[in-house]
Each structure stands twice: as C-alpha cells, then as structure tokens.
Structure 1
Amino acid sequence: MLLMPKRDWQWIYNDAYGFLSVSLGSDMEFLTPYKSKSLIPDAQSELEFSVEHAKFYIDFVERLSKSMSVSDATMVQLALNATAAHFLLKPQMPKSWFFDTSTMCVYSELAKVFQLRCQGVNAQVLVVETNIQASLVMLLSNELSLNGTKSLMQFECIKVMNDRLYPLNIKRHIVAA
C-alpha cells in the first residue's frame, strides 16, 4: 500500500540517530540518509511537509511507477528520500570528475534511472532534480567507491553533469513478422 501525504506529516531532524526524518503521524517515522552537514538550515528544526512537498512526492511516485518495477514500500522510500533531497539538501556543485564521460547523449528527467561509471564500476542512479546541464542523482546501488577515500552509500545524492549519465542497458527483443 502506498503512503499518501497527510496534514500531520512533518520534517524533523532526529538528533538521536543524526539524520533527517519524516514524521508520518503519531506512530510512524521514516529516516532519510541525510545528515545535518548536507542539509539547509531550515531542515535542522521542525518543518511542515508542505503542499509543494506533497505535490513533488505524488508526481515522483507516479513517474517511478512508470519507470521502475518495485514494491510499494520501496517506491515510498525512494519518493520520500527524493523529496527530502530535492527540497532540503544544500545546493551542490557538480562533481563529475569522479565519473566517466558517456558517449551517448541522454535526456535527463525526474525519476529516470541511469548508470554512472566510476573506476570501471557501473552504478544505478535515480534523477532527483535536473536542468539542461546537470542532474542531482540518488544512488540506487548499495555503495559506490569514488576514489580511495570517498564513497557514496545507497540513497545518498551527488550532482553530475548530464554527459556523465549512461542509459540503462535494456535488452530488446525484435520479433520479425
């Protein structure tokens, strides 16, 4: 069952765990993977889950349902993390130097899945925010080592130039009539 936004939803920085969370009513809380150092100042205190947040969340769920085949629980997790990232993460400059340049031109759009290549490893990412030159993407893979000292964990976000995004390899079956 998909969770749909309600009036009592709100963003709370959970000091006990050290992550931003979404209070989904009196008995449920969802922890995002975003720590205080990556959040805008407003996210450090209670903040309403606004109508704008709800619209983004619902649109993201609809787009995900068309682009991915995942369980409702996974879809809610991705959409809540994407909403948090879109509205509450500090703006980032692209960090494209970690990734190989793609030889294919792609069209980046919200909730679309791509691959990034880093040190010979492919990782799946989900677009959370995009413009004509760059996209903020969320890592879907478990972990991605960027270099000897830095790595991204699942659901963390990084901004990259769109020329670093590789289309997913989709196996196409051609049926001759």
Structure 2
Amino acid sequence: MLLMPDQNWQWKYNASYDVLSISLGPDMEFLTPYKNKVLIPDALGSSEFDVEHARYYMDIVERLGKRMSLADAYLVQLALNATAARFMLKPQMPKSWFFESSDVCVFSEPGKLFDLRCNGNRVQVLVVETSLQASLVMSLEESCALSDSKNLKRFDTIKVMHDRLHPLRAQQQIVAA
C-alpha cells in the first residue's frame, strides 16, 4: 500500500536513534538513515512536511513506479529517503574522482536512474537533485567500496559531475533469423 502525504506528516529529529524521521501520524514514524552531522539545522527540530515536500515525494513515487517493478513498501522507502535527502541534507561538494567518466552525454533530472562505475563495479543511483554541472544522487545498492576507508551504502548520497553518470544498460533482445 502506497502512503499518501497528508497534513499530519511532520519532519522530526529522533534523538534516540540520532536520525531524521518523518512522523506519518500518531502511531507511525519513518526513520531515515541520515544522522545529525549531515542534516541542515532546521532538521534538528520539528517542521512541517509541506506541499513542496509532498509534491516531490509523489513525483518520485510516480517516476520510480513507471521505471521499476518494486514492492510498495520499498518504493515508499526510496521516495521518503529521496525527499529527506533533497530537503534536509547539508549541501555537498562533488566527489566525482571516485567514479569513471562516461562517454555518453546524459540529461539528469530528479527521479532518473543511472549507473556510477567505481573500481570495476556498477552502482545504481537515483538522482535526488540536479544543477547545471552536477547531481546529488542516492545509492540504491547494498554497498560499494569507494576506497579502502570509504563505503557508499544504500541510501547514502553523493554529489557527482554529470560526466560520471552512465545511462542504464538497455536490455538487449537478440532474435535469430
């Protein structure tokens, strides 16, 4: 069952778990993976899940629902984490050096899916926010080692230049004649 935003939704900082959460009503709270150190100051209190947040959340749900076959619960989890990343995380500088360049020019927009290539591995990412030269992306993979000391885990965000975004491989269908 997809969750639809309503006026009871509210951003809250959950001090017990040291993460940003979204109160979805009196008996339901969604915990994001985003800790205090990556959050903007406004996220450390309580604030409204406003119309702009709801619109973004619904747009991500719609876009991902068309592109991927996902269970509703996972789709909601992706969309809520993307919304939190878009509106509640501190700005980041690009860290493109971890990833291989692409020879294909891409058009990046929120809700689009791409691959990043790192150390011979592909990491599927969701574009959360985009600017003229770079995009903030959220990892959809369990884990990816960026270096000996840095890992990118599921729902972690990283900003990369557009030339690092690789289009998803289209499934090729070979028909013998």
TM-score scaled to structure 1, two decimals?
0.95
CA distance in 1, matches of 2:108, 2:175: 29
Unaligned runs of 5+ in 1: none
CA distance in 1, matches of 2:96, 2:3: 34
CA distance in 2, matches of 1:110, 1:68: 15
How far is the alpha carbon of 1:176 from its aligned partner? 9.2
Letter in 2 for 1:80: L
Map of 2:128 onto structure 1: 128
Unaligned runs of 5+ in 2: none
| 1:1-177 matches, cutoff 5 A | 1-173=1-173
1:34 match: secondary structure: strand
How far is the alpha carbon of 1:175 from its aligned partner? 6.2
1:78 match: secondary structure: helix
Letter in 2 for 1:143: S
How far is the alpha carbon of 1:172 from its aligned partner? 2.7
2:94 match: secondary structure: coil
2:33 match: secondary structure: coil
Output one character per residue of 1:2-61: Cα deviation in whole Å (capped at 9) or x when no partner.
Answer: 000011110111111111110100111111110011010000001110111111111111
CA distance in 2, matches of 1:13, 1:97: 32
Identical counterparts, % of pairs: 63
How far is the alpha carbon of 1:68 from its aligned partner? 1.5
Greater strand fraction, Structure 1 or Structure 2: 2
Letter in 2 for 1:156: D
Output one character per residue of 1:51-101: Cα deviation in whole Å (capped at 9) or x when no partner.
Answer: 111111111111111221111111100110010000000011110011111
How far is the alpha carbon of 1:147 from its aligned partner? 0.5
Runs of 4+ in 1 over 2 A off after TM superposition: 172-177
CA distance in 1, matches of 2:87, 2:161: 20
1:111 match: secondary structure: coil
CA distance in 1, matches of 2:173, 2:118: 29
How far is the alpha carbon of 1:132 from its aligned partner? 2.6
Q: CA RMSD in A?
A: 1.4
How far is the alpha carbon of 1:171 from its aligned partner? 1.3
Assess if the C-alpha contact under 8 Å between 1:67 and 1:111 holds in 2. Answer: no
